[in-house]
Structure 1
């Protein structure tokens, strides 16, 4: 178990290797040439003047000449380098000036973010969303004047259907009450855990985020009364900083609970279960950022402390396996859940990204057939989620988005009569009140939020999470950059953000005539699907989930693809 010394560690790295890296042959030639030119010019053209000059005058004169020489020889050296290199064709055709293009490409996102993009253009979160989170987390008024900037006729716009006769608490102006309560673990006989809040901090490991970031998240979680997921990087001192309740995530690499061969160590797992803050365990099957691939932590972000906590070697990239070696199907998954639950005696859930609907159906069916087995909760991570470093193709194109995936999971559990036995968490690009309302309308009992909480810490969406150069000190192990993030003030913003999400989602529920957000249904929300036309969420996602599952099952029974089955139907009908 990691000790409770709150050491704010970070990557300093040996300075010498960076110095040697800078002084390659071209740089050496450049500086040496500048020195030679400066010396020659001074000797041949200014020797008399330099003899009569004082020390300061001499330094200024030679210094100015050296700078001019550096500029001249710099352009010449750059020209030679560009002409001789073979990696970039355009660089050989347009030497020197090509670096202007490279500079614009580098700073282009910054220019677009602050100067050229309008408030609703940027991704993954536009300026309206970010500013709302900044205002909300700082406790400032997040009200607006002169109407909304949201285009209510734009395709994709989500609209809540308010009730004419709203909840009486809204009318009397009473404070929002605690109408939300979910108990996890009842059907498997373990030590249960009660959720009193539907917003929780999603899985982000220590390594992906800094010590200061996790310490602030943990203290903020304690203040707000919400869960803090450790991520697959194991439990670290920063997770103990605020004494918040934790979900310990078990990834494919078994970080923190692995033996020398990389297998899960039952004794280490038991130690984690005995930690007073750890309330639940979560087996990570996949994550929205990179479905089908394990966690990735580049060596630049692995400090000695992180290597010790994860039980991995220092100086190497940490790439977790794509799959758990303990199982390859639903039967094996249930056996592994049973093993973990038998050791920890606490709720055990799974985190998954839905692809084919048959997989979540198989899980739901097995829960129905074997009472007392299976996950106590399921985290549905949308393919549109992602805070970690990930391949572009997986991050952008793999996995069902959160809304569709959640509808599929909810339908599968209901169809097998086990919806009341499993708590559903939704995760993936959830950050605002309307996101939460939509998720709960589609079947979520609670939500996990990652990037929203990063924004509450002070993230500016610099898109540098994978580079170890996060300018706000959140997604970096660089000590100098980490100092930018003050733990105490950031923790207050985290708690304020979580509280505001609870109250505003409660307010939405009351506007629909309900006591709790968990009562919101997919018939209380409509989406603009074409200019002038709206559809209920139940039509868009609930029915499509059923149809997709039904068609795939029929095609499988006929030993053909869904496309082949539809073509066959058309041929028969004609």
Structure 2
């Protein structure tokens, strides 16, 4: 009887495990379980006994570079539609140097039901676009799976915000679900490329004509690897990717570090104007990680000389992420978002051009407070990449460059990518974006304002030591409209006088 009972228990256990494994494979909510039936439950066991065990596990495996636990949990909970209240208050040390905080009003307002939007399109643009305060930042098909692209775009369609294609090209996966697109073009000119790798005006005109393509962004550089072209590791260059990009299958795809179409600030602005004309008057702008302030001022001088401007500029901070980049570039090259954003804002204000151009900010944007801070620092709207990836299931395993993403987000492996259910994850993208924008609008109301243009630098303060703090009005210079054109202050005069529209 004992042996029979043991055999019965073993058979019952095996049957239960088989049933659980089958359920894991068929359910659509958890990508980890779809790729790792049974053993994937260990991850959720760790979540159930956090914070101590899970936090140790996360910190010991990620070198501190991804989002911290507080931000990560906020993203996941907001994407799942879970309220973000937390017991016992903040876990941060608010007395350390570098801590920033927003000032609330003694007469807070009721947040408006409809979030503000931003009209993108200068005087030379005939098809302006109404941009949300938070959008999907540039992430290419190739870096991300087809299902990840589908989920992001469907989420954008549900929420009425924009989805940047990344420099990897405009594909059918971007067009499948009807979400608004910002088509990014890098130095590889994917989706608008001649056989020898040059810009093809005919292909550009054809693709820019899609109704979903609301604007075009020319990538000069990106935050995680400024001065380098885009990189797609060989393991991810499938036959499909090779066909879309026009590159050899199974070989590392590296875009040139710079553009062939122009080499001077004047050439850049003239090419922007040409792209806008070819696109039928849709907004055109450029993205960069700010380097030398002199280069930014040279671009401003080129705008004045040519007599036209881009419709928008995306400032990418050096803290931005990527699927593949040298670690030294990620940590040591390029201006952080705060510095780059304020250089760009002040340069445009001082040149008398700010009213014609909208500025977007990208680089670890994750929460409502991030949006409000960037608006105070000079942005008109924001873009998020890493947070959007987490909304569709990214668990920060840091294996994006290996094609072995455990949740199907950053892989070209069909078996792994099937784990990402487009219907479920698009809803999470939608909920995350809506919740985060609503939180930003609520914060602004608590600060006594109903519109981003009412925010002032005095409303954001930073601890400069354990016993002293200052507002952004005190910490940074704020140029007046047209100041550089009349009498630039000494701190800007050297760079302004040295900047030339004819050279970088």
Same topology, TM > 0.5: yes
Correspondence list, 1:440-451, <5 A: 440-451=375-386
Structure 2 match to 1:134: 76
Structure 2 match to 1:241: 176
The C-alpha deviation readout for 1:245-283, integer Å capped at 9, x for no partner, is 101111101011111111111111111112121110010
Distance 1:231-1:115 versus aligned 2 partners, 3 A rule: closer
Q: Could you say which structure has the larger radius of gyration?
A: 1
Of residues 303, 307, 310, the one that matches 2:242 is 307
Contact 2:312 2:358 in 1 (8 A): yes
- Partner Cα separation in structure 2 for residue 369 and residue 515 of structure 1: 37
4+ runs deviating over 6 angstroms = 544-549, 555-559
Distance 1:558-1:479 versus aligned 2 partners, 3 A rule: closer
Alpha-carbon RMSD across the aligned residues, in angstroms, is: 2.4
- Partner Cα separation in structure 2 for residue 322 and residue 549 of structure 1: 34
2:296 is the alignment partner of 1:360: yes
Of residues 101, 104, 127, the one that matches 1:159 is 101
Distance 1:190-1:206 versus aligned 2 partners, 3 A rule: same
Contact 1:408 1:542 in 2 (8 A): no
TM-score, normalising length from structure 1? 0.73
> For 1:367, what is the secondary structure of its paired residue?
helix
- Name the one with the larger helix percent: 1
- Partner Cα separation in structure 2 for residue 436 and residue 538 of structure 1: 18
Structure 1 match to 2:463: 528
> For 2:448, what is the secondary structure of its paired residue?
coil
The C-alpha deviation readout for 1:198-248, integer Å capped at 9, x for no partner, is 101000000000111110000001111100011111111221232101011
- Partner Cα separation in structure 2 for residue 450 and residue 483 of structure 1: 21
Structure 2 match to 1:25: none
Give 1:158 deviation, angstroms: 1.5
Give 1:558 deviation, angstroms: 9.5
Contact 1:166 1:510 in 2 (8 A): yes
Higher relative contact order (CA 8 A, sep 6+): 2
> For 2:464, what is the secondary structure of its paired residue?
strand
2:236 is the alignment partner of 1:294: no
Contact 2:297 2:495 in 1 (8 A): no
Give 1:539 deviation, angstroms: 2.7
Which stretches in structure 2 are left out of the alignment for 5+ residues?
1-52, 500-504
Correspondence list, 1:29-178, <5 A: 114-115=56-57, 117=59, 122-167=64-109, 169-170=110-111, 176-178=112-114
Structure 1 match to 2:30: none
Give 1:476 deviation, angstroms: 0.8
Which stretches in structure 1 are left out of the alignment for 5+ residues?
1-110, 171-175, 560-574
Contact 1:505 1:517 in 2 (8 A): no
Structure 1 match to 2:7: none
> For 1:498, what is the secondary structure of its paired residue?
helix
The C-alpha deviation readout for 1:344-403, integer Å capped at 9, x for no partner, is 1211100011111112122223334444x1211000001111223111111111111001
TM-score, normalising length from structure 2? 0.83
Structure 1 stretch 176-185 or stretch 264-273: which is displaced more? 176-185
